[in-house]
Amino acid sequence: MSTILEERKDQIHRTGEGAIDIACNRESLAGAVSQRACVFCGSRVVLYPIADALHLVHGPIGCAVYTWDIRGALSSGPELHRLSFSTDLQETDVIFGGEKKLEAALDELIDRHNPKAAFVYSTCIVGLIGDDLEAVCRKMSEAKGIPVLPVMSEGFKGNKRAGYLAACKAMFKLIGTRPTEGISDISINIFGDFNLAGEIWIIREYFEKMGVQVVANVTGDGRVNDIGRCHGAALNLVQCSGATLDLAKMMEESFGTPYERVSYLGIEDMADSLYKVADFFKDKDPEIVERTRTLVRDELQKLMPELAQYRRDLEGKKVAMYVGGSFKAFSLVKAFRHLGMKVVMVGSQTGTKEDYAELEQITDPGTVIVDDANPLELSHFIKEKDVDIFVGGVKERPIAYKLGVGFCDHNHERKEALEGFEGMLNFAREIHASAMSPVWQFAPRRANRPSEQGKEAVNE
């Protein structure tokens, strides 16, 4: 492919064409206009949904584009996370330092909003001018009597994945600071779900039906006090491994809390996640496995007949996807198989070598696997594979529409719950509505493509 930059060739692989050895988790190539974001972005993504905390970005106002409503992270109570703030550093602050401005901002905001904790995010310019963020946070924490936590997330330090680690380090300072009374032996923490469209409420309901107590949501619909006592839970469930796996490892090392990697997307992975929890607690509760079987059976009896209707139209259609965390890709490949669709391209912003090796095992020969893609590459593969629908986020939507391809938003801007058994039905409904829309026949690239009805007529 002539449009691939020479430096990018080792980040693209086709399933079945030799051993996979994708270069990943490295700096984005300058000038390649990567779909990735910076360290600061990664930390904000993880911490933003903690609803009763104050979120203050220490940096110029340009970074404030990522300070308000960046996720559809719903809250069942406080909405303080939707009122994010910036210190709006100016030229004089760059010259003389921004520590006094930061201190004044924290003093005013904490008094005005009475948060349970405050997260202060360091941006590129703060790293360059050398403001002592940690010292200011210590001083304000002592003065106000709440945790004021520095998030060392200078954007130039790496990519989005480095921001996840910075967020985990900040959260870890909260863990162990609250009492654990009232926590059951059969209890979990939900890591890596951001409650997009209220999905964490669906998942919590499943666990409640199984007889499992959920101690903390980390971080969707999260609360500072719950995170402070989450070390009392018996098990951590890690969904978005890129975002919160580091925190789970920290807790395992410091508190001995084991963790399981799970996914709530699609039929197989949702059921498997519930069974993992049941197996973990079966010695303490011998009936939990049977309750879980009943739950899964009841949900599938409602779901499968409706999925069959959508599958009749979607059978054989081709899919391309580009996601943030690679865990989504595993589940989506399986979900599309339930709909009779074929994944022909899959990419990720933050995948690891192990993730891509697993992707190669579950994808069909010829499937394009790409790490840290750019719009040029994504556009090329969509046209090469002649896909019917593209799954991605807000940055990928224009690519799909310009090429006359259906689109499904699977990122943090979406308003439709796609997790759980209920979410699988919503997902199938959205894919069907987009892929089968008659508007695509008028797209220039696809105008001469035979319709399904036309193919049947030719065959007859």
pLDDT on residue 455: 41
278 and 212, same structural domain?
yes
Torsion sign, CA atoms 311, 316, 322, 327: positive
Tokens encoding 377: 């590459």
195 and 276, same structural domain?
yes
Rounded (10°) angle between helices 267-281 and 420-435: 170
321 and 288, same structural domain?
no
Q: What per-residue string of b and e applies to 201-233 under the rule 16 or more CB within 10 Å gives b?
A: bbbbebbeebebbbbbbbbbbbbbbbbbbbbbb
pLDDT on residue 2: 46
pLDDT tens, residue order, the chain (460 aa) = 445 567 778 888 898 888 888 877 766 655 555 667 788 988 998 999 999 999 999 999 988 887 666 677 899 999 999 887 999 999 999 999 999 999 999 999 999 999 999 999 999 999 999 999 999 999 999 999 999 999 999 988 877 888 999 999 999 999 999 999 999 999 999 999 999 999 999 999 999 999 999 999 999 999 999 999 999 999 999 997 678 999 999 999 999 999 999 999 999 999 999 999 999 999 999 999 999 999 999 999 999 999 999 999 999 999 999 998 777 899 999 999 999 999 999 998 878 888 888 899 999 999 999 988 889 899 999 999 999 999 998 889 999 999 999 999 887 778 889 999 999 999 999 999 999 999 988 887 766 555 544 343 333 3
Strand partners, 187: 213
Torsion sign, CA atoms 297, 300, 304, 305: positive
Phi, psi of 348 (to 5 degrees): -145, 150
Strand partners, 342: 318
Alpha helices in 364-419 (DSSP H): 375-385, 397-402
Tokens encoding 136: 């200011």
246 and 353, same structural domain?
no
Q: Is 5 part of a structural domain of the chain?
A: no
Are residues 67 and 84 in contact, defined by beta-carbon separation less than 8 angstroms? Answer: yes
156 and 44, same structural domain?
yes
Q: Is 86 part of a structural domain of the chain?
A: yes
85 and 194, same structural domain?
no
Q: For residues 185 and 182, what is the distance between their CA atoms, to the nearest angstrom?
A: 10
pLDDT on residue 250: 98
Number of domains in the chain: 3
150 and 55, same structural domain?
yes
pLDDT on residue 253: 98
320 and 291, same structural domain?
no
Q: For residues 132 and 126, what is the distance between their CA atoms, to the nearest angstrom?
A: 9
Are residues 195 and 201 in contact, defined by beta-carbon separation less than 8 angstroms? Answer: yes
CATH number, domain of 195, equals 3.40.50.1980
262: containing domain: 187-298
